[in-house]
Structure 1
Amino acid sequence: MKIVVIGAGAMGLRYGVLLQEAGNEVDFVEPWLPSYEAIQAQGGVYVSRDHQKRHLVPANVFLPDAYTETPDLAILFTKQMQSEEAMRACSHFIGNATYVLTNQNGIGSVDVIRRYVPDKRIIAGIALIATVLNAPGDVDFMGAKGAGHTQLVNVTERPDTFTHAVVREFEKAGMNPTLQTNYLGTVWSKLLMNSVINTLCTLMDITMGEYVAFSGADALSRRLIDEGYAAGVADGVKFMQSREEMLQIIDHESSEVNPLHRPSMYQDMIAGRPTEVDYINGHIVKTAKKHGLDAKNHELLVDLLHLAEHSKQNGRHEA
């Protein structure tokens, strides 16, 4: 399969490297110049696993306007706020049969992608895979080989032949995919998890394991889950997990799967980059208000995260 990964950040690199090692022809299209230049100069991507065995994996990287081939699959892995600019810059190589896949954090990118690609060629979903970008072109895969899993779902909720082919490639790459047929239920499940773990771990400068070890963690998680669940149900989301099951997922992922991991929002914060809080907790607040509901806990977290961003940008926050 001819695959282009748009965005060579932590998750884009992990998906691209794993799919390349599984036998696919993979190119990276990187809008961020420092990353493009680093990968070009190195002749590839430095890959570690749990801070060990750092090695160079050959990789092809292009700036958007320099890429002229037509992929079977384009994987969008920029930050949510960069999705529109990235899709616009890459629209010239999205062919009439190209599918676009996104496993980005937060909600919003599908609305951008559908301006360029019909719903029948959009595959969404979620990634429960911990990855750290040490520096441009230098990525650390957290967890043992084959750890983590993904969920893929057609926006139409009707899997076709190509989607099943993508699932098979993800399986060969050790990404443990599950094919779902509930689009909103799938993406909202990760949204709720991120709205708890990403934001609180970032604000408190703690790992996922440190959060769930706190005696009041479950009560705090429940308040956030309840607000998010109510907003989603009002918006027509058919959740695949109950509130209690969602709490159990958060506890399991944080205590058993990635207890030492700091989420991507934290990585953005310490690097001085804007976070995706408006597309995570902010999306819950926006959805709740649309239906006359309150999501005051999420609203407070959005405000606190933006305050932390402001403090960091003004040099007042030590990460």
Structure 2
Amino acid sequence: MRIMIWGSGALGLLWARRLHNLGADPVLITRTGRQRDRIREEGLIVTDDRGDVHRCSVPVFTPDDRLPRADWVWVMVKQTALDQVREQLNRACGPDSEVWLWQNGWHPQWPFTEGTWYWWNTVTTEGALRESENRVRHTGVGSTWVGSLLSPTGGPELKRLPGLDRWVFPDPHIRDRIWTKLAINCVINPLTAVWGVKNGQLLHCKEFPALAKGLLREAVEAARLQEVCLSFDTLWEQVQAVCRRTALNRSSMLQDVESGKKTEVDFINGAIVRTGNKAGIDFALNREMVERVRDVEGTKGK
């Protein structure tokens, strides 16, 4: 089956090689012609979690090229680019295509309903670092869950690609899993971005415990407004565990700040704020994080 990976960041490159090994027909979509040409010339180079290096070749295009039709389209761009990709999906999707959304945070228009294809949402704990336009390092083995925000049908028919169920699991409660990850991200991402520290360094910041717990309490209340029940105590343990497990990692929000890019704060802390506003509740700490991250956006990497 043909799986189109729209977005060639770290996870996109990692999964292209994995799908290639499973015998699928992966196709990569890059944002730039420069990245497309480099992958075409040099291949895709992946360093696995044991340090072994692998090279493979996959078809690669930009959105301006003539695109093949795909059975599954995995949209692996950041939330900031999602709306633009949505407008172009009909160029790759046939009437029976299925679209998987791999974004962090919560888009204000989810669940999407446009098009004749079926929409799936995914949550992943895989870790990867893109080292160059065609090189990626697998930094953390994780799992991926997929389900529908439109109906509790579990997940797509994974057996269509034998072996995929080693890494991907259907989840009829994907909304709960999305909000769990959002709550964790609403602490780690903005604080690393504003303070300019790696994940593990958060645990040594004097302000961290009180501020993190305050952000989490607001996230738990926002989730409740969405009919999602989260445990504050469990989330606090998970935040600390993620900081320890990924101690040397720079969060995606910190990387965006350092490179002068627009961050996803509007879809993470901003999602908490919007949820509260609809109910007449001011989630002040998350609102403050949105403002503080916006203050540092564009101040570096220029």
TM-score by length of 1: 0.85
- Note if 1:21 corresponds to 2:21: yes
Identity level (%): 23
CA 1:136 to 1:230, structure 2 compared with 1: closer, same or farther past 3 Å? Answer: same
Report the more deviating stretch, 104-113 or 280-289: 104-113
Instruction: Give 1:237's match in structure 2, choosing from 227, 235, 249.
Output: 227
Q: Deviations over 1:216-250 (max 9, x none)?
A: 5343221111111112212x2323x4111111122
Within the candidate set 237, 257, 274, 2:262 is matched to: 274
Letter of the 2:56 counterpart? V
* 2:280 is the alignment partner of 1:292: yes
1:110-129 alignment runs, 5 A limit: 111=110, 113-117=112-116, 121-129=118-126
Q: 1:137 aligns with which of 134, 137, 140?
A: 134
Q: Which has the higher helix share?
A: 1
Change (3 A) 1:216 1:171: farther
Structure 1 segments of 4+ aligned residues over 6 angstroms from their partners = none
Aligned partner (choices 172, 175, 181) of residue 184 of structure 1? 175
CA contact (8 A) 1:231 1:291 kept: no
**Letter of the structure 1 residue corresponding to residue 34 of structure 2:** P
RMSD between superposed Cα atoms in Å: 2.5
For the 8 Å contact 1:123–1:163, the answer to whether it is kept is: no
Instruction: Specify the alignment match of 2:243 in structure 1.
Output: 254
**For structure 1, which segment, 157-166 or 147-156, has the greater mean C-alpha deviation from structure 2 after superposition?**
157-166
Q: Secondary structure at the match of 2:115?
A: coil
Which one is further off, 107-116 or 54-63?
107-116
Hey, what does 1:12 align to over in structure 2? 12
Local SS of the residue matching 1:141: strand
Indicate conservation of the 8 Å contact 2:108/2:271, yes or no.
Answer: no
Structure 1 contact 231–293 (Cα < 8 Å) conserved:
no
The C-alpha deviation readout for 1:25-79, integer Å capped at 9, x for no partner, is 111122333322322232x222224695444332210122434422111100111
Q: CA deviation at 1:183?
A: 3.4
Q: Which runs of 5+ in 2 are unaligned?
A: none
Say if 1:153 and 1:186, in contact at 8 Å, map to a contact too: no
Hey, what does 2:294 align to over in structure 1? Answer: 306
Length-normalised TM-score, structure 2 = 0.90
Q: Are residues 273 and 288 of structure 1, via their aligned partners in 2, closer, same or farther at CA, if it must alter by over 3 Å? A: same
| Aligned counterpart, 1:148 | 142
Pair 299,169 (structure 1): closer, same or farther in 2 beyond 3 Å: farther
Distance 1:311 1:162, change over 3 A: closer
* Paired residue total: 302
For the structure 1 residues 12 and 161, does the alpha-carbon distance in structure 2 shift closer, same or farther, using more than 3 Å as the test?
Answer: closer
Structure 2 letter corresponding to 1:285: V
Partner of 1:77: 76
Matched, 1:66 2:38: no
Pairwise CA distance, 1:159: 2.7
Counterpart for residue 194 of structure 1: 185
Report if aligned partners of 2:123, 2:178 keep a CA contact under 8 Å in 1: yes
| 1:210 counterpart letter in structure 2 | Q
Map Cα deviations across residues 253-299 of structure 1 (whole Å, 9 max, x no partner).
Answer: 221x3222112112222222211111111111111111111111111
In 2, the alpha carbon distance for the partners of 1:112 and 1:178 equals 20
Distance in 1 of aligned mates of 2:35 and 2:163? 26
